[in-house]
Amino acid sequence: MPEYPTALGASTRDTITLLGHDLARDVMGQVGFGELAFWLATQRRPSTGETRVFEAVLAALADHGFTPTAITARLTYLSAPESVQGALAAGLLGGGSRFLGVTEDCGRFLHEQLAGRQLPADDGGWDAIALEVVAAQREAKRFVPGLGHHVHKDGDPRTPRLFEIAREEGLEGPHLRLFAAIGRVHPQVLGKTLPLNGAGVCGAALADLGLPMELLRGFALLARTAGLIGQLAEELRDPVANDIFLSVDFNNVSVPPSPYGGHDG
C-alpha cells in the first residue's frame, strides 16, 4: 500500500495537530494568520521580524482596485452567487504572468543573478554587480523585472517603505540589496531613471525571507484572496458588476466574421 507522509494537518479521534503542534492549545489564539501562512509554507516558524516583513508584503499586494482579478471575481459572483468559491477561484486565475507576475519574476530574476556569486561587503560591491546585471539585460534586449511602473512613474510609494521595514527588522538580505543597487545604477546604463516597482520589491523581500521560489506567486495570490473577499463584500453592499457587464454588452458592435485562414493567413 502507498503511504502519504505529511507534516501538515493530521487528526485522530482525540487530537488535531498542525505542523507537529497541538492545534487547539499551541496554534489557535497564539499564532497570527500571516505567521501561520509563513509557517505552513516553510515548516519553520518565523521570527517576529520575519512575520512583520511578510505581512507588509501581503498588505502591499492585497488589493489594487478594479484589476482584472477584481472585475472577474465580481462578474462571477454576479453570475453564480451560489458559489463563493467559484468567484474567488475565477479571480485568482487572473493572477498570472502579467498582473501579479512581477513579484515572482523579480524575485526569481534576482535569485538567478545571485546564484554562485560571492556576496559583496558594501554598497560599492553591490553597485558593481548591479551594473553588470543591468548591462547584460540591456545587451540581451530584455527588461529588468521590477524596474519601471506604468502609473507610479516618479516612484512607487511602497518601495522605500518596504526597504525601511526590512531594515528595521534586520532583514535586508542579498535580494533586496541587489534590487536597491539596480535602482541606483540603472540610469548609467539605460540613460533614464525608472522607479523600482512596489510589486517587484515584494518579490525581493519574499526571496530574502527564504520562501520557496517556485511559489512566490502563491503569496501574491494569498494576499489577493483577502482582497477579493473585500471586493465581494463591497459588491454585496454597493454592487457594480451588473453595470460593468451592461457597459460592455451595450457597447458591443457586430462586425462580419474575419475568417482565419491558418497560421500565416
Interface residues for a second copy in 142-161 (CB under 8 A)? 151-158, 160-161
- Least distance from C-beta 193 to a second copy, angstroms? 15
What does the alpha-carbon distance between residue 138 and residue 200 come to, in Å, rounded to a whole number? Answer: 18
Of the candidate residues 165, 171, 196, 206, the single one contacting a second copy (CB under 8 A): 165
CA torsion angle 91 77 34 111 (round to 10): 0
Q: Are 162 and 198 in contact (CB under 8 A)?
A: yes
Interactions with a second copy, residue window 45-64 (CB under 8 A): 52, 54-56, 58-60, 62-64
Angle at which helix 33-42 crosses helix 216-237, to 10 degrees, equals 150
Q: Which stretch binds a second copy (CB under 8 A): 96-104, 122-130, 133-141, 178-186?
A: 96-104
Interactions with a second copy, residue window 63-92 (CB under 8 A): 63-72, 75-76, 78-90, 92
With 0-12 CB in 10 A as exposed, 13-18 as middle and 19+ as buried, what is 1?
exposed
Cα atoms in the Cβ-side hemisphere of radius 13 Å centred on 208:
27
4, 236, 250 from 7: Cα distances, Å = 10, 38, 53
Of the candidate residues 33, 123, 136, 167, the single one contacting a second copy (CB under 8 A): 33
Interactions with a second copy, residue window 186-215 (CB under 8 A): 198, 207, 210, 212-215
In the complex with a second copy, the residue whose CB is nearer, 116 or 124, is: 116
In the complex with a second copy, the residue whose CB is nearer, 8 or 136, is: 8
Q: Are 58 and 80 in contact (CB under 8 A)?
A: no
In the complex with a second copy, the residue whose CB is nearer, 93 or 135, is: 93
Cell (9 digits) for 220: 501574491
In the complex with a second copy, the residue whose CB is nearer, 92 or 147, is: 92
What phi and psi, each to the nearest 5 degrees, are found at residue 105?
Answer: -60, -40
In the complex with a second copy, the residue whose CB is nearer, 98 or 192, is: 98
In the complex with a second copy, the residue whose CB is nearer, 88 or 185, is: 88
- Least distance from C-beta 109 to a second copy, angstroms? 13
Cell (9 digits) for 66: 478594479
Interactions with a second copy, residue window 116-145 (CB under 8 A): none
